[in-house]
Amino acid sequence: KAGVTQTPRYLIKTRGQQVTLSCSPISGHRSVSWYQQTPGQGLQFLFEYFSETQRNKGNFPGRFSGRQFSNSRSEMNVSTLELGDSALYLCASSSRPGQGLVDYGYTFGSGTRLTVV
Amino acid sequence: SQQGEEDPQALSIQEGENATMNCSYKTSINNLQWYRQNSGRGLVHLILIRSNEREKHSGRLRVTLDTSKKSSSLLITASRAADTASYFCATDARGYSTLTFGKGTMLLVSP
């Protein structure tokens, strides 16, 4: 079956602009999580959605937001981009919510590399 | 904040040798997972070990977990050039459904 699909793969934006990234989970998976990866901070959790509801949110400013649609596809939006937002954004899907969510491991997409200039 | 800390930060070995990476974490966990990442691409799930398990095998991978020391190790036996990648441990804290990653070990396997 198809894996987790993230679009676009690469993106270049200017400071102050906003950006929307998309993630399509594995068919049948209803949980989607987002992570930011930078050389300095490593992999950091952004947010998690299950059945269109945000279940958890990481320690990021309000400029970072997300949503999940009824077909489980998810988008994340970053407004008023800053240079420090340049990162690889990874999406992961899983079939189960809650504490059992990670019992079987996540399936990650290839990521969207965002460069802010 | 980072929960796991991998050691070493970088490891260079020859094909056929074994590679051992260590991970330490700070809080109680439900399980610990290891992931591989090739050249800044997506993460690939390698193996998951639950907090009540001490050792787990999967192919050439062997993972140990010592909850009293809050540490884990990943052993890759008979390394191949294709194993060249960054390896991350990730913990799932009790009661939460998110992963906290360490900063990773970069493994270079030379032919």
How far apart are the C-alpha atoms of A17 and A110, rounded to whole Å?
Answer: 24
Look at residue B2 in the predicted model and tell me its pLDDT: 47
In order along its 117 residues, chain A shows pLDDT tens digits of 579 999 999 999 999 999 999 999 998 888 899 999 999 899 999 999 988 999 889 999 999 999 999 999 999 999 999 999 999 999 998 876 554 444 567 889 999 999 999
Contact A111 B40 (CB under 8 A): yes
Contact call for B45 and A106, based on CB within 8 A: yes
Distance CA B72, CA B108 (A): 20
Strand residue runs (E) in chain A: 5-7, 10-13, 19-24, 31-38, 42-50, 53-57, 64-68, 74-78, 87-94, 107-108, 112-116
Percent of chain B, pLDDT > 70? 93
- Token pair belonging to A99: 């504490």
Q: How far A16 CA sits from the closest chain B CA (Å)?
A: 26
Name every residue in B having a CB less than 8 A away from some CB of A.
1-2, 30-31, 33, 35, 40-45, 48, 50, 88, 90, 92, 94-104
Using a CB-CB distance cutoff of 8 angstroms, which residues of chain A are in contact with residue B100? Answer: 45
- Tokens at B110, concatenated: 């030379």
Nearest to B63 by CA among B82, B99, B28, B91: B91
Least CB–CB distance from B45: residue in A42, A100, A107: A107
